[in-house]
Chains A and B, each alone.
Chain A
Amino acid sequence: MQVLHILNKEFRDYFVSPIAYIVISIFLLVTGWFFFATFFLLNTAGMRSFFDLLPMIFAFIVPAVTMRLFSEELHIGSYELLLTMPVTFRDVIVGKFLAGVAFIAAMLVPTLAYPITVSFMGDLDWGPVIGGYVGSLLLGAAFAGIGIFASSVTRNQIVAFIIGLTICFALSLIDSMLFLIPEGLVGAFGYLGARFHFQNIAKGVIDTRDVLYFLSVMFVGLYGTFMVLKEKK
């Protein structure tokens, strides 16, 4: 129950401040621009170029969404009020995390206009599109886990954003940097790359290995947050 109340409060909070609208506008502008800039050149009725870019864009956007979740509370001190109410760390972390994920989902809803538009122009294969959206949610959840961890380590939202951005960015870029890594480790590092797993799902193939990857990243982030909060006691 507590989780739901916290989720509800945090989710509404997003829309009270202008940040939500700014983040959503930037996200839609950037994705819309990049998607339609190449769409007619590629001359295929698909969402590929949209989903190709998504890990990069999420690496910027998701930490901006999650940066306030703990930092703000630590900064104004309401964290003390929150934790002295009958709630557990789990309630707080999960509630805030779900609020972040719900916001990311809300942010993705307007982009449904793209596949709908495309489906009028050509024969759109809905499989990869659905896979792409499932993957986007998983990717968003994984990055939100990291972002929430970044937010719990500092009371400064900008610092939280930069920490989150750095980790998410590294995860999205790692598979294009593989040539720098000794040959024996390429497999392992390749597996760490978020883009690699995301693109598997975005092809329309929902493989448990990829799902497990995103869930693990998310869990590591949330568990890290739990450890940080516990340490603060």
Chain B
Amino acid sequence: MIHVENLTKYYNDFCAVDHINLDIHKGEVLGLLGPNGAGKTTTLRMLTGYFLPSSGDIRVKDLSVYDKSFEIKKMLGYLPESAPLYHNMLVADYLNYVANIRGIAKDKRQARIKKLVELCSMKEIMHKTIGELSKGLKQRVGLAHAMMDDPEILVLDEPTSGLDPNQIIEIREIIKLIGKEKTIILSTHILSEAEATCDRIVIINKGKIVADGKTADLKQSVGRERAIYLSLINSDFTAASETLGTIDGIEAVSKLESPNDDLLNLKLTFSSSDDQRAEIYNKIKATDWILMDFHQEAKTLENIFRELTKEN
């Protein structure tokens, strides 16, 4: 649906986006992830026709941003970061204005606006000035702006930045709801958000793509690197490492700091991806140790992200 080829953008000498290649398919919810200044916003701005690329091409349904920018804009709804709306307009007036510009027929307009108001739960704020709204409410108006004529592609730049936890969840719910039918591209630097809402994640750093894959695949690729944490009473480190060390696939048993002498905290790391939890439990059951805590931690996206984007 969207084909990005060798996309590059220079701001004077600074290269913000460096030869990005990307294919976005219909119905995908794609998360563009990266630290601040990685080139996320610049990429989105080129996609929406706000900026022209320095070189390379973006084709949406085989229309190029260079000569068919107007047609692309018609298919695309865009919410820039922190929803910069006219602050002296009433929400209702603003939505009407957008509906006009988007060319929605008069007889369908009220129905469409009503539907958006319901979807983004904005009923109470229709007669308020946009400038008076809180950030979360403004974001909803921005979302309604982006979805006005039911575009096929929705581009959202950090849709949840600066919102409180409740608002974040609400906005995510809306994104999930529309993501069922639409192609959505959203940028964020919050990993849990990308994990929760996106089918596919693209991590960019310094203008380059450093990882690209289905959310589940990305998670699985690092899932093997896991650790099990144990807390035991009535045991000591030598006995424990002897007992547990005999299990196949355990690479190392190490002692962690513990708040008091009775409690022994252990970390087990593995050399294979097999699940040894049952065996570990059985080994411990055979002794007279008391098991206080037993949990496994898989490596998260957070770790991948940090590895891929950290300054060297």
Query: Which residues of A does B touch, CB under 8 Å?
Result: 1-2, 5-6, 8-9, 13, 16-17, 76-78, 80-81, 83-88, 233
Chain B residues lying within 8 Å of A17, measured Cβ to Cβ, are 88
Which among B84, B89, B101 is the interface contact of A5 at CB below 8 angstroms?
A: B101
Query: Which residues of B does A touch, CB under 8 Å?
Result: 45, 48-52, 70, 73-74, 76, 78, 80, 82, 84-89, 97-98, 100-103, 142, 145
* A to B CB contacts below 8 Å, 17 in the list: A2-B101, A5-B97, A5-B100, A13-B88, A76-B86, A76-B87, A80-B45, A80-B50, A80-B80, A81-B78, A84-B49, A84-B73, A86-B70, A87-B101, A88-B70, A233-B51, A233-B52
Which among A6, A13, A16, A81 is the interface contact of B80 at CB below 8 angstroms?
A: A81
Which among A1, A8, A81, A87 is the interface contact of B85 at CB below 8 angstroms?
A: A81
Contact in complex: B88, A85 (CB < 8 Å): no
Contact in complex: A78, B86 (CB < 8 Å): yes
Q: CA–CA, A34 to B232, complex, Å?
A: 95
- Least Cβ–Cβ distance between A27 and chain B, in angstroms: 22
Q: CA–CA, A126 to B84, complex, Å?
A: 49
Chain A residues lying within 8 Å of B98, measured Cβ to Cβ, are 85
Chain B residues lying within 8 Å of A87, measured Cβ to Cβ, are 73, 101
Q: When A and B form their complex, which 5 residue pairs have the shortest distance between CB atoms, in order from nearest? A: A77-B84, A5-B100, A84-B78, A86-B73, A84-B48
Which among B50, B82, B84, B101 is the interface contact of A86 at CB below 8 angstroms?
A: B101
Q: CA–CA, A5 to B70, complex, Å?
A: 17
Chain A residues lying within 8 Å of B86, measured Cβ to Cβ, are 13, 76, 78
Contact in complex: A81, B101 (CB < 8 Å): no
Chain B residues lying within 8 Å of A81, measured Cβ to Cβ, are 78, 80, 84-85, 142, 145
Contact in complex: B80, A77 (CB < 8 Å): yes
Q: CA–CA, A66 to B103, complex, Å?
A: 27
Contact in complex: B103, A76 (CB < 8 Å): no
Contact in complex: B88, A80 (CB < 8 Å): no
Contact in complex: B84, A80 (CB < 8 Å): yes
Q: CA–CA, A150 to B100, complex, Å?
A: 28
Q: CA–CA, A5 to B52, complex, Å?
A: 26
Chain B residues lying within 8 Å of A8, measured Cβ to Cβ, are 100
Residue in B closest to A230 when the chains form the complex, CB atoms: B52
Q: CA–CA, A127 to B85, complex, Å?
A: 47
Other 13 A-B pairs with CB < 8 A, given A13-B86, A80-B80, A84-B73: A5-B101, A13-B89, A77-B82, A81-B78, A81-B84, A81-B145, A84-B49, A85-B98, A85-B101, A86-B74, A87-B73, A88-B70, A233-B52
